Chains A and B, each alone.
Chain A
Amino acid sequence: MLETLMLSRIQFAANISFHILFPAITIALSWFLFFFKLRFDQTGEPVWMRAYRFWVKIFALTFAIGVVTGITMSFQFGTNWPKFMETVGNIAGPLLGYEVLTAFFLEAGFLGVMLFGIKRVSARVHTLSTLIVAIGTTLSAFWILALNSWMHTPQGHEMRDGVAFPVDWLAIIFNPSFPYRLSHMVIASGLTAAFLIAGISAYRLLKGDDKQAPKLTLKIALTVAMVLTPVQIFLGDLHGLNTLEHQPQKIAAMEGIWHTEKGAPLLLFAIPDEEQRTNHFEIAIPKMASFILTHDFDGEIKGLNEFEGNHPPVAPVFFAFRIMVGIGMLMLTVSWFSRIQLWRDKPLPTWLLRVLVAMSFSGWVATLAGWYVTEIGRQPWLVTGILTVKDAATTIASGNVALSLAMYLTLYAVLMTAYLHTLFTMARRAVEIEEITDDEKVKPVLHTTIQTAIAHSANQSPNTKENDNV
Chain B
Amino acid sequence: MFEANSLAVIFVALMGFSILLYAILDGFDLGVGILLPLSQKDDSDTMIASIGPFWDANETWLVLAIGLLLIAFPSAHSHIFKELYLPTAVLLISLVLRGVAFDFRAKAAFSHKPTWNKVFKVGSLLAAMSQGYMLGMYVMSFEDSLAAYAFSLLSALGVAAAYAYIGACWLIMKTEGALQVQAVRWAKQAGLICFIGIVAVSAVNPLINPDVFAKWFAWPTTLYILPLPLLCFALFVYSLLELKKLPAINDKGCWRPFVAAVVIFTLCFFGLAFSFFPYIVPGKLTIWETAAAPESLSFLLWGVIIVVPVIFSYTVFSYRVFWGKVRELRYY
Contacts and interface: CB of A to CB of B under 8 A. Distances in A.
Partners in one complex: yes
B315 interface: yes
Interface string B68-91: 111110110110111001101100
Nearest to B56: A108
B219 interface: no
A117 B74 contact: no
Contacts of B293: 90, 163, 165-166
A97 B57 contact: no
A307 interface: no
A101 interface: yes
A280 interface: no
A422 B56 contact: no
B303 interface: yes
B74 A86 contact: yes
Given A57-B331, A89-B292, A112-B321, A74 B68 contact: no
Interface in B81-108: 81-82, 85-86, 88-89, 92-93, 95-97, 99-100, 102-104, 107-108
Contact of A79 (B63, B81, B296): B81
B53 A115 contact: yes
Interface in A393-422: 394-396, 400, 403-404, 407-408, 411, 415, 418, 421-422
B56 A100 contact: no
A85 B70 contact: yes
Interface in A112-130: 112-113, 115-121
Interface stretch (A65-73, A239-247, A326-334): A65-73
B60 to A, nearest CB: 5
A100 B60 contact: yes
A60 interface: yes
B89 A101 contact: no
A20 to B, nearest CB: 15
Contact of A111 (B57, B66, B100, B304): B57
Chain A CB count within 10 A is highest, among B63, B93, B304, for B63
Nearest to B99: A68
A415 B292 contact: no
A442 interface: yes
Contacts of B296: 89-91, 93-94, 165-166
Nearest to A426: B107
B67 A96 contact: yes
A114 B103 CA distance: 15
B299 interface: yes
Contact of A64 (B57, B80, B103): B103
A109 B66 CA distance: 19
A105 B303 CA distance: 13
Nearest to A405: B89
A105 B60 contact: yes
Chain A CB count within 10 A is highest, among B80, B297, B311, B315, for B311
B108 A60 contact: no
A96 B88 CA distance: 20
Contact of A67 (B59, B64, B317): B59
Nearest to A109: B314
B93 A408 contact: yes
B121 to A, nearest CB: 16
Given A400-B85, A408-B93, A97 B67 contact: yes
B314 A101 contact: no
Main secondary structure of the interface of B (DSSP, over half): helix
A408 B57 CA distance: 24
A411 B329 CA distance: 27
A139 B72 CA distance: 22
A64 B60 contact: no
Contacts, number: 220
B303 A98 contact: yes
Contacts of A97: 67-68, 71, 300, 303
A109 B311 contact: yes
Contacts of A421: 108-109
B321 A113 contact: yes
B46 to A, nearest CB: 14
B308 interface: yes
A77 interface: yes
B322 interface: yes
B110 to A, nearest CB: 9
Interface string B266-283: 000000000000000000
Given A72-B92, A78-B78, A93 B85 contact: no
B6 interface: no
A108 B58 CA distance: 8
Contacts of A120: 321-322
B99 A64 contact: yes
Interface in B301-315: 303-304, 307-308, 311, 314-315
B16 interface: no
B74 A78 contact: yes
A302 interface: no
B54 interface: yes
Interface of B: 52-54, 56-57, 59-60, 62-64, 66-72, 74-75, 77-78, 80-82, 85-86, 88-89, 92-93, 95-97, 99-100, 102-104, 107-109, 292-293, 295-297, 299-300, 303-304, 307-308, 311, 314-315, 317-318, 321-322, 329-332
15 contacts: A53-B332, A63-B56, A78-B82, A79-B81, A94-B299, A98-B300, A111-B57, A113-B318, A115-B52, A115-B331, A116-B329, A118-B331, A165-B296, A166-B299, A436-B332
Given A67-B59, A166-B293, A408-B89, 15 more contacts: A64-B56, A75-B88, A77-B77, A89-B292, A93-B71, A93-B74, A97-B67, A101-B304, A104-B60, A104-B64, A105-B307, A109-B57, A115-B52, A418-B104, A436-B332
- Lowest 10 A-B CB distances belong to which pairs? A112-B53, A93-B71, A68-B99, A82-B78, A85-B74, A78-B77, A108-B57, A404-B89, A89-B74, A78-B78
